[in-house]
Amino acid sequence: MRKNKKRFDTAMKYSLLFAALASILIVLMIGFFTFREALPAFRDIGLGKLLTESVWRPGQGQYGILAMIIGSGLVTAGAVILGVPLALGCAIFLSEIARPNLRAIVKPCIELLAGIPSVVYGLFGMVIIVPIVRGIDVPGNTGFGLLSASIVLAVMILPTITSVAEHAIRSVPKEFREGSLAMGATKWETIQKVIIPGARSGIISAIVLGLGRALGETIAMIMVIGNSVIIPATSTGNPLSIFLSRARTLTGNIAVEINYATGLHESALFATGVILFVLIMIVNSSARYLMSRGSLGKNC
């Protein structure tokens, strides 16, 4: 009987190990095959031209993705600027303010946002957000552009940042709260000066994970950003008007053109995927580093 239990435990151990190794193998295979398909582009076009040239005309042999890098960066920055304050407010409310019965209602609603398909967000953006943005009286404003995309993306990253930030805030030792209140600090002063600094590394990690989520979004962006391969520019003297410009993201470029691309054009799209893959790996690795650093700090 004892031998059978031991064999079962051993079998389960190796089964779980296989599952863990399989996930690593899948990531390596995705990276390998994407890079293999991108090699002709890196060889014939060159990484430097891909990253520094802004004209994308595959029919004329021009494969610069700088405009799309800038578009991805601006829409991600806009989403973070709009979404982070809202997400942190939700996290603080759920962890420090809300009563259990109210939290039981609000938290599932926020988590439900993560399960809504991207195309539904895109439809919401086209029907609601784009007409509102179109109402801004600026020359050439069609409503489709970086601002509409940033608003939609801010809502999409809300559950990711809220969940991780709430966990980080709840991880702050209870003694910190009690000590601050015992010293005469108010509830808000305790949150502002004790709890948020104590959860800083976890909150930063939440924001970085939100960045990774924003960089990888595709369908909703295609539907509301305008999909013009241009470097976004201001249309008035106000620098913020750049967010009313149309643009295209790296992910959107791949999704729009991969179905009909052939030869070097197809390879250039795979090269775009490699660059995006590396960017997201850097972002996610940064988040893991920050989370582990925060854990070490607490242990010390």
Do the beta carbons of residue 165 and residue 87 sit within 8 Å?
yes
Which pTM was predicted? 0.86
Q: Which CATH class is domain 2-299?
A: mainly alpha
Determine the Cα angle at 224 with ends 283 and 80, to 5°. 35
**134-152, pLDDT tens digit by residue?**
998 888 888 999 999 999 9
Which residue type sits at 181?
L
- Mean pLDDT for 112-130 is 92
Taken in order 196, 201, 202, 207, is the CA torsion positive or negative? positive
Query: Is residue 157 over pLDDT 90?
Result: yes
Which residue type sits at 222?
I
Q: For the chain, what percent of residues have pLDDT higher than 70?
A: 95
Q: Distance between CA 230 and CA 223 in Å, rounded?
A: 17
Q: Which residues contact 131 (CB under 8 A, 6 or more apart)?
A: 143
- Mean pLDDT for 20-40 is 91
- Show the tokens assigned to 232: 């976004």
**206-258, pLDDT tens digit by residue?**
888 888 888 888 899 999 999 889 998 887 777 888 899 999 999 999 999 99
Averaged confidence pLDDT in the chain: 88
Q: What is the pLDDT of residue 161?
A: 93
Q: Where are the domains of the chain?
A: 2-299
